[in-house]
Structure 1
Amino acid sequence: MTVIHALPVAGGILAIAPLPGSDGDYAGDLEHIHGWAPALVISLTTDVEMLAGGAQNLGAQLQDQGTRWAHLPIADFGAPDAGFADKWTGISGQALQALAGRGRVLVHCRGGCGRSGMVALRLMIEAGEAADEALERLRTVRPCAIETDAQMEWALAAPRGAALFLRHPQ
């Protein structure tokens, strides 16, 4: 069964995990995720990775269960490109709203380390956490979080407290 590595962020729960089915039990992993009840799942795997893992229908199946789903593919060991950046603001806003409302957000990549750790750290910083403290907390639950310098650079480029408007509307 896929292990969900979770920690409290901005009043909710943020988690990272491997691609459902990567352990050979896609149906069991999907049921486990459904039971965990995320408000939003962010998939960072490519279409090829999802197909190879038997998870090509993940988005539709999550949405059928009432979970919002965002697919922002990044190549393994990669960092976001311009296309990702264009979509990030909206997805980040959804994730931060869910967390601020005491919801759960699950981010996954193939192994549940590099790409998912990068996005989790970015969300933690955008939620107002200091980068060094956020990284330490994240690596306490998932030591392999963030695998490349480019991933770390993208995560650390987050505007700290970008989500403050969610808690203090003007």
Structure 2
Amino acid sequence: MRPFHPFWSLELPRVDGQLLLTPCPGTQQVALSQALEQLRLAGAHGVITLMTTTELEKFELTQLGQQVTQAGMRWFQLPISDDRAPDAEFDVRWQQVLPSLLDLLQDGKHVAIHCRGGSGRTGLVAATILLTLGQPPLEAIAMVKAIRPKALTLATHLQWLHRQSLGGIALAD
């Protein structure tokens, strides 16, 4: 039996696509190409990488973006430093990629989100997408924690998410 790269599916309100919350492909005793193929077969048409370039170098995953596109998926790198809230650079990049992410999800396509372990930053961005789709903050947090209990435990993440719910992010129509 082939090793399986873990992921957790999160159904979204008002769109047909889902989010696939996952640890970084290529880090769970599953080869990078195999992990990406498993995500693609699960319906992923996009991959959001929240790891910094330095982290990708540390784990010898500098080819991640290239392999994502070679596997037929769109790659979005939106780095957030581990255990930190997103910075202004993230906010700018988020505004740039959000329309593409929403298009994928509205078309019924899934989007994989990962950081190193698939909980902290991954849960934060999943909750942000839920807010963008109009989900109330406490419900968004509960939905993410239902599938990733270790997500959204850092005060800095919860504070940032609260600020976003007060109008800091672009919301979908």
- The interval holding the TM-score normalised by the smaller chain is 0.7 to 0.9
Tell me the residue number matched to 1:13: 18
Match of 2:171?
162
In 2, are the aligned partners of 1:15 and 1:107 still within 8 Å (CA)?
yes
Partner of 1:72: 78
1:1-170 counterparts in 2 under 5 A? 1-9=4-12, 10-26=15-31, 27-156=33-162, 157-158=164-165, 159=167, 162-164=171-173
Displacement of 1:161 after TM fit? 8.2
User: In 1, Cα distance between the equivalents of 2:128 and 2:93?
Assistant: 14
Q: Indicate if the aligned counterparts of 1:44 and 1:71 stay in contact, CA closer than 8 A.
A: yes
Deviation at 1:69, TM superposition (A): 0.5
**C-alpha separation between the residues in 2 aligned to 1:82 and 1:161?**
14
**Cα pair 1:113 1:147 within 8 Å, conserved:** no
Q: CA deviation at 1:134?
A: 1.6
Distance 1:161 1:84 in 2: 13
- Give the counterpart letter for 1:152 in structure 2: L
Per the alignment, do residues 2 and 52 of structure 1 end up closer, same or farther by CA in structure 2, a change over 3 Å counting? farther
Q: CA deviation at 1:81?
A: 0.9
Confirm or deny: 8 A CA contact 1:129 1:161 kept in the other structure.
Answer: no
Residues 27-72 of structure 1: per-residue CA shift (max 9 Å, x gap): 3312212222312111001122222333221111111122111111
Q: Which amino acid aligns with 1:87?
A: R
Does the 8 Å CA contact 1:128/1:161 hold for their aligned counterparts? Answer: no
My pick for the range that moved more, 120-129 or 97-106, is 97-106
**Match of 2:22, as an amino acid?**
A
TM-score, normalised to structure 2, is: 0.86
Amino acid at match of 1:148: L
Report how many aligned residue pairs link the two structures.
164
Task: Name which of structure 1's ranges 97-106 and 149-158 shifts more when overlaid on structure 2.
Answer: 149-158
Give the C-alpha shift of residue 154 in structure 1.
2.1
TM-score normalised per structure 1: 0.88
Judge conservation of contact 2:141–2:152 (CA < 8 Å) in 1. no
Unaligned runs of 5+ in 1: 165-170
Identity between Structure 1 and Structure 2 (%)? 30
My pick for the range that moved more, 29-38 or 155-164, is: 155-164
Q: AA paired with 2:18?
A: I
